Chain A
Amino acid sequence: MDAKQSKKLDFSPILVPLLSIVVALAFGGILIFIQGINPLLAYRVLFTTAFGSFDGIAITLAKATPLILSGLAVAICLRAGLFNIGAQGQLISGALASAWAGYTFVGLPALVHIPLALIFGAFFGALVALVAAVLKAYRGVHEVITTIMLNSIVIALSDYLTSNPFKEPDQPLTRTPKIQDSAQMPDLLGLPLGFFLAIGLSITLWWIMRNTTTGFSIETIGRNKNAGWYAGISVKKTIMLSMLIGGAVAGVAGAVETLSIIGRFEPAFNAGLGFDGITVALLGRANPLGVIPAAILIGGMRASGSTVQFEAGVAPELVDLLLAMILFFVTAPLLARFFKNRKENVAMTSGWSN
């Protein structure tokens, strides 16, 4: 991070995300209109369901909680120049591990049991990321490839575990037993405890990135690996560290979902949370604080998707479509160049650095 923020308020970092949302909503509006529905009505329902009442906001924030965390997992890696597509696998691993810890240990007080289960989640999330991190740092294997493959491996493995050793006995369903009451994460002020945990983690990571030598190392490697290496920062260590943090945070995302919402591990119950994290991270410009509003926005859309279907008759795929378009526009660098209108700064190639 910069040694000191410039005094002027600079809106350019949020310009592209805001524009992507607006443009995606506009295109979405056209598609809704083609279905013969008034897009303004659909969007009003979407908005009032998600943000129009205290209950609505509570549901939105509950939906946003795992997204903040999985967005954070992707964002931290992006800071180090790594594209962690594997948040999904790390998240599932964390969800399963925390469920196991949640139902296996009996007789613990909640104050011990909940943190223990969360730590299980973080550890097993990081363990999955470790594989990709080692391959990247010591073998140069691209993290996109390895994390995608690890996603499949983790899904297959979790299916096996939940239908065999961890299966709830005497039940036809493929799922683990329910977690003990002592592992159940409570609500606080009507909001899930996990939400505060996610906000706390975001602020902590933001602070670490901004104020610590570790943060500076990660940031430097992400921006110019050569200069960073040359300045004495270990590229290997930085890759390992940022992937492990990313994996642990994704694992916590899965754990929070297990311990406060689902109450056990069931395959497919966490589907897509890790992938939404990619959208959240990019929309939040890989900023640990930026992922919070991005996750709340996407959480709100997820929370109100079915209501929009009932009340306005819009196809349920609308939310997925909007998210895909937001992702598309936020990544389309042409848009950024076009609106920034700073041709002189756009190099034709990355030049000699990187």
Chain B
Amino acid sequence: MKTLLEIEGVSKSFGSVIANEDISLTVREGEILALLGENGAGKSTLVKAVFGLVKPDSGTIKINGTVMESGDTAAAIASGVGMVHQHFQLVPVMSVTENLILGDEPKRFGVVNITQARKEALALSEKYGLEVDADAIIEDLPVGMAQRVEILKALRRDVKLLILDEPTAVLTPQETDELLEVLRNLAKRGVGILFITHKLREVMAVADRIAVLRGGKLMGTTTPKESSESKLAQMMVGREVVLRVEKSQAKPKEVLLSIKNLRVSDDRKLESVKDLSLEVHAGEILGIAGVEGNGQRELVEAICSMRSRLSGEVIVKGQGIPNLNPRAAHLAGVSHIPEDREKHGLVTSYSIADNLVLNRFDQAPFARGWIRNLEEVASNGESLVEKFDIRAPDAYLSAGSLSGGNKQKVVVARELSQQLDVVVAAQPTRGVDVGSIEFIHNQLIAARDAGAAVLLVSAELDEILSLADRIAVISNGKIVAIFNSKEADRNTIGRLMAGLAS
């Protein structure tokens, strides 16, 4: 098979941070190369260099034997490179069709031919078996659906090399399986694929070769046959990682969070949480298992008082939480790791230190009355950066220049470093590397053991199964069953999630 992409001796630094150091790699036609590495290892930087979004300090990138001018995205696209970015690049207020054609619109008499565009969008979606609603507005779509649009957009031009930067981070296991199938088909047609993920299962399932980065350096390449999940984890992190969660028996006590007859509607004003009641005890982790879009998001947002309740009550430590007042929920003792870290979790132009006190900036010790105590903010930042292993030169870097997983760690660090009564964790390990997943899991267990009531919502059934003490299955806005994790059975839960009676 012909070599499609040659990366030769590429290095790139941002100030004192070496993101890539003398990396050489190749991708052949029809090959799926998985790129693995810790958060901040330099994966995104490397693929951005291939796509011309980052100008390497040294080294060359060849596509089909031609040396690419560095920092020239247009040339990369012209030579058949398509990229799905780690963070969405869609225009939120436009429709799926409009997003798909943006930048290369079919025209008639000089104006965009929207009928034709719509046809093209549907044909594209058909061709790759990625179903989308061509007329939906992007901001109304769940993230998994938006991700599909993003992938279709990359596929629209005739790509020879497809780069995907953590495309599965926001997908459900089912959607992921579908995507992996799409990738296999593309590879069969001769497309070379460069695929970044933190999920070792996917790597083992789909990769032809695996390259591992650590601290900006290439640690080596291997194949799924020669390797195993734990070997890969060790190669990435440089130490042994416990992939299975180890925890003691839960000792549940009094009810800390109770939800009574909650009804909530979604953005389209459809009722998506339907008369739901639930109790979470001190000292236990309650996992919500369900297919994305069955009311989990609305449930979480209603508990945290971010979304208006149609009716029902949320009671924390015996005290009712008022409607639409996130501050009251926070003061009542609710910590929340939000699903959308960029929208609700961070102010990306602020420093890490400021982000770490975002919901406490006006409380002691971070403020004395009206005056902020910037020294406390700084020392809190430094100690949390250290404790939560946020990979940054210091705590004053803007949060926006962190790698994706490290952004997540900032949010987790803030929420889990305060007085904990109720922890609502929505997709807490999304986009985080295996080493940090272990760490975040241990922090959630530590919160539980310290007497917090933990509500865990995750699209990863494995995460729920391994972390939760009790599992509630949500389907169509209702809790359809609750299991003790010991008696939980994967298949039964899967059937319930799909809306089938067990």
Residues of A within 8 A of B (CB): 2-6, 211-217, 220, 223-224, 226-234, 343-345, 347-353
Cross-chain contact A349 with B343 (CB below 8 angstroms) = no
A345 to B350, CA, bound (A): 15
A34 to B349, CA, bound (A): 45
- Which residues in B have their C-beta under 8 angstroms from that of A351? 87-89, 92, 342
Cross-chain contact A213 with B396 (CB below 8 angstroms) = no
A to B CB contacts below 8 Å, 13 in the list:
A2-B350, A2-B396, A4-B374, A212-B372, A213-B371, A214-B370, A216-B354, A220-B347, A220-B350, A226-B343, A232-B359, A347-B89, A348-B89
* Distance in Å: Cβ of A146 to nearest Cβ of chain B: 23
Cross-chain contact A224 with B346 (CB below 8 angstroms) = yes
A229 to B351, CA, bound (A): 18
Partner pick for A212 among B48, B342, B371, CB 8 A cutoff: B371
Q: Which of B335-387 contact A (CB under 8 A)?
A: 338, 340, 342-351, 353-354, 358-359, 361-362, 367, 370-372, 374, 377-378, 381
* Distance in Å: Cβ of B356 to nearest Cβ of chain A: 9
- Which residues in A have their C-beta under 8 angstroms from that of B54? 344
Given contacts A213-B371, A232-B331, A344-B54, 9 further A-B contacts (CB under 8 A): A211-B374, A214-B370, A220-B350, A227-B346, A230-B326, A232-B330, A344-B48, A347-B89, A352-B88
Partner pick for B367 among A213, A223, A228, A343, CB 8 A cutoff: A213
Partner pick for A223 among B87, B350, B395, B396, CB 8 A cutoff: B350
Cross-chain contact A227 with B347 (CB below 8 angstroms) = yes
* Distance in Å: Cβ of A228 to nearest Cβ of chain B: 7
Partner pick for A213 among B347, B349, B353, B362, CB 8 A cutoff: B362
A353 to B345, CA, bound (A): 10
* Distance in Å: Cβ of B427 to nearest Cβ of chain A: 14
Cross-chain contact B91 with A3 (CB below 8 angstroms) = no
Partner pick for A231 among B359, B377, B395, CB 8 A cutoff: B359
- Which residues in B have their C-beta under 8 angstroms from that of A230? 306, 326, 338, 344, 359
Q: Considering only CB atoms and an 8 Å cut-off, how many residues of chain B contact the other chain?
A: 47
* Distance in Å: Cβ of B404 to nearest Cβ of chain A: 13
* Distance in Å: Cβ of A208 to nearest Cβ of chain B: 9
A30 to B344, CA, bound (A): 49
Partner pick for B53 among A226, A233, A343, A352, CB 8 A cutoff: A343
Q: Which of B33-88 contact A (CB under 8 A)?
A: 48, 53-54, 71, 73, 87-88
Q: Determine if B327 is an interface residue (Cβ-Cβ < 8 Å).
A: yes
Cross-chain contact B90 with A349 (CB below 8 angstroms) = yes
Least CB separation from A215: chain B residue: B372
* Distance in Å: Cβ of A207 to nearest Cβ of chain B: 10
Cross-chain contact B343 with A227 (CB below 8 angstroms) = yes
Cross-chain contact B344 with A3 (CB below 8 angstroms) = no
Cross-chain contact B353 with A223 (CB below 8 angstroms) = no
- Which residues in A have their C-beta under 8 angstroms from that of B340? 352
- Which residues in B have their C-beta under 8 angstroms from that of A229? 326
- Contact A223 B349, CB 8 Å, known A351-B342, A352-B92: yes
- Which residues in B have their C-beta under 8 angstroms from that of A353? 342-343, 348
A173 to B238, CA, bound (A): 85
* Distance in Å: Cβ of B279 to nearest Cβ of chain A: 25
A226 to B341, CA, bound (A): 11
- Contact A2 B372, CB 8 Å, known A349-B92, A353-B343: no
Partner pick for A6 among B327, B349, B350, B396, CB 8 A cutoff: B396
Partner pick for B377 among A3, A220, A232, CB 8 A cutoff: A3
Least CB separation from B331: chain A residue: A232
Q: Which of B179-226 contact A (CB under 8 A)?
A: none
Least CB separation from B356: chain A residue: A3
A220 to B350, CA, bound (A): 9
Cross-chain contact A211 with B343 (CB below 8 angstroms) = no
Partner pick for B358 among A213, A214, A220, CB 8 A cutoff: A220
- Which residues in B have their C-beta under 8 angstroms from that of A213? 361-362, 367, 370-372
Least CB separation from B357: chain A residue: A3
Cross-chain contact B358 with A227 (CB below 8 angstroms) = yes
A344 to B54, CA, bound (A): 6
- Which residues in A have their C-beta under 8 angstroms from that of B370? 212-214
- Which residues in A have their C-beta under 8 angstroms from that of B347? 220, 223-224, 227-228
- Contact A211 B351, CB 8 Å, known A224-B346, A232-B330: no
A211 to B373, CA, bound (A): 8
- Contact A232 B374, CB 8 Å, known A224-B346, A344-B53: no
Least CB separation from B340: chain A residue: A352
Least CB separation from A8: chain B residue: B15
- Which residues in A have their C-beta under 8 angstroms from that of B371? 211-213
- Which residues in A have their C-beta under 8 angstroms from that of B92? 349-352
A140 to B361, CA, bound (A): 27
A352 to B139, CA, bound (A): 8
Least CB separation from B359: chain A residue: A231
Cross-chain contact B350 with A231 (CB below 8 angstroms) = no
Cross-chain contact B342 with A352 (CB below 8 angstroms) = yes
- Which residues in B have their C-beta under 8 angstroms from that of A217? 362
A100 to B349, CA, bound (A): 45
- Which residues in B have their C-beta under 8 angstroms from that of A4? 351, 353, 374, 378, 396
Cross-chain contact B359 with A349 (CB below 8 angstroms) = no
Least CB separation from A346: chain B residue: B53
Cross-chain contact A3 with B353 (CB below 8 angstroms) = yes
Of the candidates A2, A226, A228, A234, the one having the most CB atoms from chain B within 10 angstroms of its own CB is A2
* Distance in Å: Cβ of A4 to nearest Cβ of chain B: 5
* Distance in Å: Cβ of A179 to nearest Cβ of chain B: 36
* Distance in Å: Cβ of A132 to nearest Cβ of chain B: 24
Cross-chain contact B326 with A349 (CB below 8 angstroms) = no
A226 to B342, CA, bound (A): 10
- Which residues in A have their C-beta under 8 angstroms from that of B401? 345
A138 to B347, CA, bound (A): 24
Cross-chain contact B53 with A349 (CB below 8 angstroms) = no
A347 to B349, CA, bound (A): 13
A347 to B87, CA, bound (A): 10
* Distance in Å: Cβ of A7 to nearest Cβ of chain B: 9
A232 to B358, CA, bound (A): 9
* Distance in Å: Cβ of B51 to nearest Cβ of chain A: 10
Of the candidates A5, A217, A348, A352, the one having the most CB atoms from chain B within 10 angstroms of its own CB is A352
A232 to B330, CA, bound (A): 8
A232 to B370, CA, bound (A): 16
- Which residues in A have their C-beta under 8 angstroms from that of B395? 3
* Distance in Å: Cβ of B58 to nearest Cβ of chain A: 17
Listed from nearest, the 5 A-B pairs whose CB atoms lie closest are A232-B327, A3-B353, A213-B362, A231-B359, A231-B358
A226 to B361, CA, bound (A): 16
Partner pick for B343 among A214, A234, A347, A352, CB 8 A cutoff: A352
Least CB separation from A354: chain B residue: B343
Q: Which of B287-310 contact A (CB under 8 A)?
A: 306
Partner pick for B91 among A215, A216, A233, A349, CB 8 A cutoff: A349
- Which residues in A have their C-beta under 8 angstroms from that of B53? 343-344
A204 to B328, CA, bound (A): 31
Least CB separation from B89: chain A residue: A348
- Contact A227 B345, CB 8 Å, known A3-B351, A6-B396, A211-B371: yes
- Which residues in B have their C-beta under 8 angstroms from that of A5? 396
- Which residues in A have their C-beta under 8 angstroms from that of B89? 347-349, 351
Least CB separation from A1: chain B residue: B354
Of the candidates B343, B347, B361, the one having the most CB atoms from chain A within 10 angstroms of its own CB is B347
- Which residues in A have their C-beta under 8 angstroms from that of B374? 3-4, 211
Of the candidates A2, A226, A230, A344, the one having the most CB atoms from chain B within 10 angstroms of its own CB is A230
Cross-chain contact B378 with A3 (CB below 8 angstroms) = yes
* Distance in Å: Cβ of A231 to nearest Cβ of chain B: 4
